[in-house]
Structure 1
Amino acid sequence: MKRLRGLLCLGSWMITGLLSAETYNDDCADLIGSCEYYACIDQERLSCGDDGYALGYGQKYCERFSAIDFKDNPPPFSGDLYPAKGNEWRDNVRSCLQESMEAWFASDEEKDCSGLRTFAFDSHPNCYTAAPSFCELTPENVIRVGLTVQLNDLFKAESQKQIRDTARTCVTQLDARLDAESRPWMRFKLAEYKKIWVLASGDPSLFLSLLRHGK
């Protein structure tokens, strides 16, 4: 009898979960990987208008970053210090962000414009630092990313938070690379590069000022 009650409770929980999760009869998921995805979710799922996350941030920066032709020209004598390729990083981030939003729409979270914006910004650092990681781009490409974001967006609190969180992940990733690296010259270069992200994790505004001036 106890086992039967347990099975009934499990079945009830599964049914409740299925009923509470959202389902959408649209083609938005088929647009993952393209900038059209954002217009689709705003039109078909949650309309937040031009100032909402989907149109006001997601689509805007999807289009701006898609227009960049990243140049992967590592500085002389940098070896494999910067293994990430800019165009590959950009394309992977685009898909990662959109797949994360699909998971949010499919969840039982309350769907509103504020919730979407908060979730989306919180997903940025994880997608930025997944392989290939933002922390492995050349300094030239890091600067190119920073210059692509408009100043009025770059210095907002939500952007400052994502910069800080991304930088902290970069520090962790660089520490792991340092632990695994045996070449003295590469350890020195990694330690120097780590200083940039330590700065960004503590003072995003100062980091951004240096970034915008290409230093």
Structure 2
Amino acid sequence: MIWFDRPFRRGWALYSNSAPIRPQNQNRYFIISQASLAIFLIFMLLCFFSNHAQAQCSNSVKLGCGVYTQCFERYCPCSADKNYFTNYGKRYCEKFIGRNDWSTQGVAWRDKTLLCLQEAIIPKLDLDHPEKCDCSKMKDFAFQTHISCYSQNTASICRLPASDWSKIIQTIDTADLLDAYGAKQMLGIVNVCIGQQAGDIGNDIKEKWKQAKEKLSNIIK
């Protein structure tokens, strides 16, 4: 018992001889601890909301149109006349998915095109400051992506059979085809198709493409 007691008392004496923690120091340490805890909690909340926002903006395994309202409209809120996401994106997403009479090529083109259009928007969103979104610029950018997404090398509108072309024209409202935005994207697609199909089409088809370009150019003017 004595053998254990002496080292214990010696250790206690060393501890008791050390400088005591004064009350003001204790308060300072307590304040620092509170500040550190507050910073940590704020950091965790920011991470949570950031991850939550990213989850809302990630595409689901099943192709769908929910991202337009769950993500795009939320992080780029726009008035009715400038709201591309409601007026165009979501509306045509639902229309194209709603059709079940596509060819095998048509289904592949539709699915890859819709995903391309949605994935192009996400990097343009400021998830931390949605109020900074410029609706006019976002609308212009979204329409610009139509040309590249419609004519991807792996699934191009230019290589679809005539039956799918007919369905596309039936699905898109005439007013949207012939307004300035529609005419520009159609003209861009015609130019791409001429390049992609240059070696596969005859002179008569090329002449029709040329006529289509002229008509579209006149609409844009």
- TM-score, scaled to structure 2: 0.64
Structure 2: gaps of 5 or more residues: 1-49
Aligned equivalent of 1:77: none
Contact kept in structure 2, 1:89 and 1:133, CA below 8 Å: yes
- Equivalent pair of 1:121/1:158 in contact (CA under 8 Å): yes
Gaps of 5+ in 1: 1-22, 73-83, 179-186, 207-215
2:214 to 196, 202, 206: 202
Residues 143 and 25 (structure 1 numbering): CA distance in 2 closer, same or farther, change over 3 Å?
same
- The answer to whether the 8 A contact 2:150-2:157 is kept is yes
Q: Which amino acid aligns with 1:36?
A: G
Does structure 2 retain, via aligned residues, the 8 Å contact 1:49–1:55? no
Aligned residue runs from structure 1 range 4-83, under 5 A: 25-26=52-53, 27-31=55-59, 33-51=63-81, 52-72=83-103
Go from structure 1 to structure 2 and tell me whether the alpha carbon gap of 1:192 and 1:139 turns closer, same or farther (over 3 Å shift).
farther
How far, CA to CA, are the matches of 2:144 and 2:51 in structure 1? Answer: 23
**Deviation sequence 1:160-189 (CA, Å, 0-9, x none):** 0000001100001012xx1xxxxxxxx5x5
Alignment match, 1:119? 141
Match for residue 192 of structure 2? 169
User: In the alignment, which residue of structure 1 is the partner of 2:111?
Assistant: 91
CA distance in 1, matches of 2:116, 2:212: 23
Point out the structure with the larger helix share. Answer: 2
Distance 2:149 2:125 in 1: 17
Cα-to-partner distance string for 1:109-153 (whole Å, 9 max, x where unaligned): x62111110000001000000021000011111111011111222
User: Using CA pairs below 8 Å that are at least 6 residues apart, which structure has the higher relative contact order?
Assistant: 1
| Matched AA of 1:129 | S
Q: In the comparison of the two structures, how many residue pairs are matched?
A: 162
Distance 1:71 1:105 in 2: 32
The share of aligned pairs that are identical, in percent, is 27
Pair 1:126–1:106, CA change in 2 (3 A): farther
CA distance in 1, matches of 2:64, 2:114: 8
Decide whether aligned partners of structure 1 residues 151 and 168 sit closer, same or farther in structure 2, where only a CA change above 3 A counts: same
TM-score normalised per structure 1: 0.66
